[in-house]
Amino acid sequence: MTTASLQESQPAPEKAKNHWPLLSVRNLEVEYHIRRGIVKAVDMVSFEIAKNEVFGLAGESGCGKSTIAHSVTRILKPPAYITGGEIVFNGIDILKMRDEQLRGFRWEHLSIVFQSAMNALNPVLSVGAQIIDAIQAHKPMNKRAARERAKELLRTVGIDVKRIDSYPHQLSGGMRQRAVIAIALALNPEMIIMDEPTTALDVVVQKQIIREIQELQQAFGFSIMFITHDLSLLVEISDRIGIMYAGELVEMAPAQTIFGNPQHPYTFRLMNSFPMISGARQELFGIAGSPPDLISPPPGCRFHPRCESAEPICRETVPRLRQIGENHQAACHLLKKEGDYGQK
């Protein structure tokens, strides 16, 4: 357990579009209870997503981003437990909901596109049947209406309506991904969580899908929580980005700020790990070491063993997210307010 952790008061809510946070996550804590010990997978994470906003959640494997997605949709299963914090969607406390309420809530207000969605499709059901399944599970309607809705959705995502009875293996990778997005859109949710939706796709198909997601988002006005490890992709499509490391949110700012002026040492080094396709060629180094064991994470700042600028305070006290600039928050002791760390 950490020695002294400063309970910083939460920063004032982001002045995002429309000023009203659609999703508000405060001090979320999630633990996995395994034989070896307790894994603190998410530690005091707070962020907000406004209406019509694309929020990117970036981080490497094991940082907790998928866990957050599963927590928000309440699909965590033991040995994972939400042990603290609150999640409020449109004024409704999600953590207090019971199963029947959740069923009505899910898909109509909040839906999710899973990682490796192509494999999440049932190989023995046609895509039409799966869309209809999703509709009937959350907001039952008569069969004809459901089928009409399915056709409409396929048209929306750009799949030929004649393929409503095709099986997943008859569709290409890109089309399967679009089918999964169609399922997520079925009940016109206010927010869609997308967990690595394009990771398994080739770069050209990825670009097409991303483009289509952007168009859909403009047309229907839903918010997106976009989770991926590909930071360059996130910078292209997100309004705001949150960077996660070892279960903590270490930096949060608009996309261009993260790209142009990363303040947290991890973000800075991470940006420095992506080779650029244009611009000057530079020496890149990546980050030495590996992510910490979350059963016994390093004391104080979890990144300090790999940080070149670590100071004694970093070993003792856990830094919490705080304002360091307009629209810019980071969790690092070395940053003064209106930060001045790091040269590019």
Partner 1 sequence: MGKNNEFGEPILETRNLTKHFVAGGAFSRTSVKAVQEADLQLYKGHVTALVGESGSGKSTIVRMLAQLYDATDGAILFKGLDVTRRRDDNKILADLCLDAAIGISIGLVVSFFVDFPPLLTMAICIVLSLVFGYMFTGWQNYRKALNYRRRVQMVFQDPFSSLNPVHRVRHTLERPLKIHGKVRGRKDLSEKVDALLRRVSLAPVEEFRSKFPHQLSGGQRQRVAIARALAVDPEVILADEPVSMLDVSIRMGILNLMAELRDEQNIAFLYVTHDLASARYFADRILVMYAGYIVESALSEDLTQNPQHPYTQLLLSAVPDPARGLRTGELEAVGEIPVITVADVGCPFAPRCPRVMEHCQKAMPPVTQLDGERWVRCYLYE
Partner 2 sequence: MKDLVTGLISLIEILQFPLGIVITPLILRHKEYTRWVWVAGAAAGGALAYLGHTAAPIGGIFLLMVVWFYLLNPFSLLQNRKAVLGIVILTMFIVVAVFADQIAPYDPQQMGTGAPHGPPTWEDQRGNMHIFGTGRTGKDIFSQTVVGARTSLAVGFGAGTIIITLCIIIGITAGYVGGFVDEALSLFTNIFLIIPGLPLIIVVAGWVSRPGPTTIVLVLSFTSWAWGARVLRSQTLVLRNSEFVAAARVSGESTWRIVLFEILPNMTSLVVSSWIGAVVFVILTEATLAYIGLGNPSATSWGGTLYWARNDQALITHAWWTFVPPGACIALVGLSLTLINYGIDEITNPRLRTEGAKAK
Instruction: Give the residue with the Cβ less far from partner 1, 6 or 284.
Output: 284
Exposed, middle or buried by CB within 10 Å (0-12, 13-18, 19+), for 1? exposed
Per CB under 8 A, the list member of 117, 164, 185, 270 interacting with partner 1 is 270
What is the per-residue DSSP string for 128-154? Answer: HHHHHHHHHHHS---HHHHHHHHHHHH
Give the one entry of partner 2, partner 1, none that residue 35 binds, where binding means its C-beta sits below a cut-off of 5 to 8 angstroms depending on kind: partner 2
Rounded Cα distance, 308 and 56, in Å:
27
Per CB under 8 A, the list member of 193, 231, 314, 321 interacting with partner 1 is 231
Angle at CA of residue 18, ends 13 and 20, nearest 5°: 45
Instruction: Give the pair of three-digit tokens for residue 77.
Output: 């299963």
Binding residues among 8-67 for partner 2 as defined by CB under 8 A: 32-36, 39
Segment near partner 1 (CB under 8 A); pick from 26-34, 126-134, 146-154, 199-207: 199-207
Rounded Cα distance, 183 and 212, in Å:
15
Question: In Å, how far are 243, 318, 325 from 13, measured between CA atoms?
Answer: 17, 22, 14
Site string for partner 1, 284-323 (x = CB under 8 A): xxxxx-xx--------------------------------
Instruction: Give the residue with the Cβ less far from partner 1, 26 or 229.
Output: 229
Site string for partner 1, 63-102 (x = CB under 8 A): ----------------------------------------
Per CB under 8 A, the list member of 4, 15, 35, 61 interacting with partner 1 is 61
Rounded Cα distance, 60 and 313, in Å:
25
Instruction: Give the residue with the Cβ less far from partner 1, 133 or 236.
Output: 236
Rounded Cα distance, 2 and 55, in Å:
30
Residues 271 and 265: beta-carbon distance below 8 Å: no
Tell me the helices (H) and strands (E) count for the chain, helix number first. Answer: 11, 14
Q: Rule CB under 8 A: is residue 261 a binding residue for partner 1?
A: no
Torsion, Cα 88 112 244 33, to 10 degrees, reads: 80
Per CB under 8 A, the list member of 204, 308, 343, 344 interacting with partner 1 is 204
Q: Rule CB under 8 A: is residue 79 a binding residue for partner 2?
A: yes
Give the one entry of partner 2, partner 1, none that residue 125 binds, where binding means its C-beta sits below a cut-off of 5 to 8 angstroms depending on kind: none
Instruction: Give the pair of three-digit tokens for residue 57.
Output: 């959640």
Give the one entry of partner 2, partner 1, none that residue 79 binds, where binding means its C-beta sits below a cut-off of 5 to 8 angstroms depending on kind: partner 2
Tokens 């990117």 -> residue: 56
Binding residues among 258-297 for partner 2 as defined by CB under 8 A: none
Give the footprint of partner 2 on this chain (CB under 8 A): 32-36, 39, 78-80
